[in-house]
Amino acid sequence: MANATRLLIKNGTLIDGSGGGPVPIRLLVVEGNRITLVGETDGSMRPETPDDTVIDATGKFILPGLIDAHCHISLHQGALPGMKYTSSAEFCTLWAAHAIGRVLRAGVTSIAVPGGKWFTDVTVREAVEGGLVEGPRMVVAGRALSNYGGIFDPDPYPAFEGTPADTAGVLCNTRDEFIRETRKQCKRGVDLIKVADSTWGDVQTVADDEIAAVADEAHRHNVKVTIHSRGSTSTRAAAKAGHGRVCARHGLSAGVRGIRTLGPRERTTLSETAALDVSARPLLLPAISSIRSSASTCEPRRIVPG
């Protein structure tokens, strides 16, 4: 790395994410995309040169890039003065490309996007990977697969027929429709299939065999499945159908009793679920593990100083 571009960060307080307390440091050196020194130099580091980028972090904190395991980019595009047609794929993509840069500059370097509009998030992910725009590593889903009564039911009015273009969900009311949409989204390059059960979990809108069919089809394409699940019945169904391949979001609402009915392997399916009480053991978080695994195989990214 003798010729690598160096970034020298001086006099900051380091939080390394290992669980230890903040540590004042005199120097942190980044060469290329690797941290090569933290703390005091042992004399082996070459002297500082005018080509080095130097940041004085006095009074500031230094920490690794953050991971956001539930971040919607294209789901809610805003409106701008003078813009007449904001409910379009074109404007949604421009808005998402703008938003993703703000996410990165906030210090978030890896995100999971469990659902959005059109295939906007897939396109933005590809643009980031290709260097067209700056953004974090992204694991993304397309529109959520929802039937009547699901949180992303795209048919909210009794008189409406069809699926509106500007929607976060695609209507699937049979097992075959769930499978067909899963195949379509896998073809388009999603990392996740999002299934949308009821808004608050008071009822289960997606049947057990439909969840299992999505999990089986996605698995054949090496794609993971995530489900909006606030109820104990759909959370249990997701765990049993997924066999370690379905990530149940908002699972905290499922209740301790509902979680305890699952076996050890099924428990590892759930994510975004902390210890539900003092006697319930914490559950594993495969969504975060999946992002970390993805990040380790991606090209490193960093915020360019300046």
pLDDT score recorded for residue 150: 83
Q: Which residues on neighbouring strands pair with residue 29, listed in sequence order?
A: 8, 37
pLDDT score recorded for residue 89: 83
**pLDDT tens for each residue of 163-180:** 566 788 888 999 999 999
pTM value is 0.72
**Helix orientation angle between 208-220 and 175-188, rounded to the nearest 10 degrees:** 30
pLDDT score recorded for residue 297: 47
Chain length of the chain: 306
Q: How far is CA 180 from the centre of its chain?
A: 24
Residue 279 Ramachandran class (φ > 0 left, ψ -120 to 50 alpha, else beta): alpha
Provide the residue-wise pLDDT of the chain in tens; the chain has 306 residues. Answer: 456 678 888 888 888 888 888 888 888 888 877 888 887 766 667 777 888 889 988 988 888 888 888 888 888 766 677 777 777 788 888 889 989 999 998 889 899 999 888 899 999 999 999 999 999 999 999 999 988 888 888 665 555 555 566 788 888 999 999 999 999 999 999 999 999 888 877 788 888 889 889 989 999 999 988 888 777 777 777 777 754 455 655 544 444 444 454 454 444 444 443 322 223 333 333 344 444 444 444 444 444 443
Quote the radius of gyration of the chain (alpha carbons, Å): 22
Q: How far apart are CA 282 and CA 259, in angstroms?
A: 11
Q: Which residues on neighbouring strands pair with residue 127, listed in sequence order?
A: none
Other beta carbons less than 10 A from residue 89's beta carbon: 15
Q: How far apart are CA 250 and CA 268, in angstroms?
A: 15
23 φ/ψ angles, rounded to the nearest 5 degrees: -125, 120
Sign of CA dihedral 68, 136, 134, 93: negative
Q: Are 67 and 42 in contact (CB under 8 A)?
A: no
Q: Name the DSSP class of 185.
A: H
pLDDT score recorded for residue 164: 64
pLDDT score recorded for residue 181: 95
Q: Are 45 and 29 in contact (CB under 8 A)?
A: yes
- C-alpha distance across the termini of the chain, in Å: 23
Q: Which residues on neighbouring strands pair with residue 225, listed in sequence order?
A: 193, 246
- Domain architecture of the chain: domains with CATH: 6-64 (2.30.40.10), 67-296 (3.20.20.140)
Q: Which residues of 139-160 are buried (b: 16+ CB within 10 A; e: fewer)?
A: bbbbbbbbbeebbbbbbeeeee
254 closest CA partner among 278, 228, 279: 228
Q: How far apart are CA 52 and CA 37, in angstroms?
A: 15
Other beta carbons less than 10 A from residue 33's beta carbon: 11
Strands 108-113 and 144-146: unpaired
| Residue type at 71 in one-letter notation | C
To the nearest 10°, report the CA torsion of 89, 188, 148, 208.
Answer: -160
Q: Which residues on neighbouring strands pair with residue 140, listed in sequence order?
A: 113
